[in-house]
């Protein structure tokens, strides 16, 4: 309700109007400037974008890491300093945006979703992350604080891998790669869950199987909504020729495409598996229902002649000769027991139970 109300603020405004459509997860905007090259490394933290701009180092990689999107004035100041297009800033603040890449000549823009599984109800939580790649800098925008980029920061600090010897286009790839790797982790977790659901279904251990299947269906659809558009956009970006991307770096973006294709194939397999599990669940229910109906039919078949006998001798007529028999009660019981035994033997031979 709150998200919808904030999104409705954009209605009627001209293109490029800066309106934050998400939730203010952070009380204050938090900014980190991480600058590095092969020899040097430094990190500066502040809440004011105007304190970051004067200390940028053109001869090094400058990663401006912004957490919190609700401070429109600071986002606007950032855009004016770096010459960011108003439509780009509008997309950054629109947290409901689908994954998208755009080449603005002097900047490359990418927005996508960071996904995570909540520990409470195991649903996929989505948070928007946007990147702006410039000549000597990379700006990342996050809705709220997250540790997803912490491994990248540690690699920069410890000089692990190629980050310290590569330029900002490689940092752009590395940050995107770690987000997509997190998609792979979610897919692996879903795969394990699907196997457990299949095992429970075959062993009939749980009565909540259908609820679990439908939950996995929602996860699959939610993940697919983030993966498929991103795959299309990365493909489009990979085939472009931007002067901001070193030709030697383009091969790494092919790796992103390979990962996204793998995820998409797994999601298609999940869709088929979910459909098969649903059909198996319904088939098991039909079998159980048929088994119940068969048992009820057996019981009814046995009791039909017994009911006839009891009903016959329950009539209130005076002239019923058997009523005068001294041992009529015991004889009737004997007949009913005999009929019951004969019926059970007959039905068992017919393999009704």
CATH number at 317 reads 1.20.58.340
What local confidence, expressed as pLDDT, does residue 15 receive?
A: 59
Question: Has residue 217 been placed in a domain?
Answer: yes
Residue 183 has a pLDDT of 92
Q: What is the pLDDT of residue 2?
A: 43
What are 115's strand-pairing partners?
126
Q: Please indicate, yes or no, whether residues 336 and 242 belong to a single structural domain of this protein.
A: yes
Query: At residue 182, what are phi and psi to the nearest 5 degrees?
Result: -65, -35
Residue ending a domain, among 143, 160, 178, is 178
Q: Please tell me the distance from the alpha carbon of residue 99 to that of residue 128, in angstroms, as a whole number.
A: 9
| pLDDT lower than 70: segments of the chain | 1-20, 22-27, 205-207
| Residue 151 located in a structural domain | yes
Residue 7 within any structural domain of the chain? yes
The token pair at 263 is 């995820």
Structural domain includes residue 196: no
What pLDDT score was predicted for residue 231?
Answer: 93
319 vs 328: CA distance, rounded Å: 15
Do both 271 and 331 map to the same domain? yes
Same domain, 268 and 127: no
The CATH number that applies at residue 158 is 3.30.460.20
Q: What are residue 351's DSSP bridge partners?
A: none
- DSSP track, 62-124: EEEEEE----HHHHHHHHHHHT--HHHHHHHH-TTPPPEEEE-SS-EEEEEEEEEE-TTT-PE
Same domain, 236 and 340: yes
Are 221 and 320 in the same domain? yes
CA distance 196 to 200: 6
Q: What is the pLDDT of residue 3?
A: 45
189: in domain = no
Same domain flag for 99 and 227: no
Number of domains the chain is built from: 2
In a domain, 31, yes or no: yes
Residues 261 and 171 in one domain: no
Structural domain range at position 231:
205-353
Query: What is residue 35's predicted lDDT score, i.e. its pLDDT?
Result: 95
User: Same structural domain for residues 43 and 150?
Assistant: yes
Backbone angle region of 122, left / alpha / beta, with phi > 0 → left and psi within -120 to 50 → alpha: left
């Amino acid at each position: 309700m709150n998200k919808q109300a904030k999104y409705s603020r954009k209605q009627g405004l001209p293109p490029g109007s800066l309106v934050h459509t998400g939730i203010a997860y952070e009380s204050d905007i938090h900014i980190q400037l991480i600058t590095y090259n092969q020899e040097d490394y430094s990190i500066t933290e502040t809440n004011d974008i105007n304190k970051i701009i004067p200390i940028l180092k053109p001869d090094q990689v400058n990663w401006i890491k912004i957490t919190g999107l609700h401070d429109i004035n600071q986002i606007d100041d950032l855009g004016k300093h770096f010459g960011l297009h108003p439509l780009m800033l509008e997309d950054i603040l629109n947290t409901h945006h689908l994954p998208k890449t755009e080449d603005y000549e002097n900047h490359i823009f990418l927005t996508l979703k960071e996904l995570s599984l909540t520990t409470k109800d195991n649903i996929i939580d989505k948070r928007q992350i946007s990147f702006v790649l410039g000549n000597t800098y990379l700006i990342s925008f996050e809705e709220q604080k997250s540790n997803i980029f912490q491994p990248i920061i540690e690699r920069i600090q410890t000089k692990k891998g190629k980050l310290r010897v590569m330029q900002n286009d490689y940092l752009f790839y590395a940050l995107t790669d770690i987000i997509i790797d997190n998609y792979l982790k979610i897919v692996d977790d879903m795969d394990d869950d699907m196997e457990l659901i299949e095992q429970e279904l075959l062993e009939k251990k749980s009565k909540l199987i259908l609820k679990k299947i439908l939950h996995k269906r929602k996860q699959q659809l939610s993940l697919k909504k983030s993966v498929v558009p991103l795959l299309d956009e990365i493909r489009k970006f990979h085939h472009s020729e931007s002067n901001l991307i070193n030709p030697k770096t383009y091969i790494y973006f092919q790796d992103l495409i390979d990962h996204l294709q793998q995820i998409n194939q797994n999601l298609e397999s999940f869709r088929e598996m979910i459909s098969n599990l649903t059909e198996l669940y319904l088939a098991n229910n039909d079998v159980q229902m048929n088994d119940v109906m068969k048992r009820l039919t057996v019981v009814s078949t046995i009791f039909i002649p017994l009911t006839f006998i009891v009903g016959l001798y329950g009539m209130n007529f005076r002239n019923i000769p058997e009523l005068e028999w001294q041992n009529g009660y015991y004889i009737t019981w004997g007949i009913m027991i005999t009929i019951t035994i004969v019926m059970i033997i007959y039905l068992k031979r017919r393999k009704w139970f």
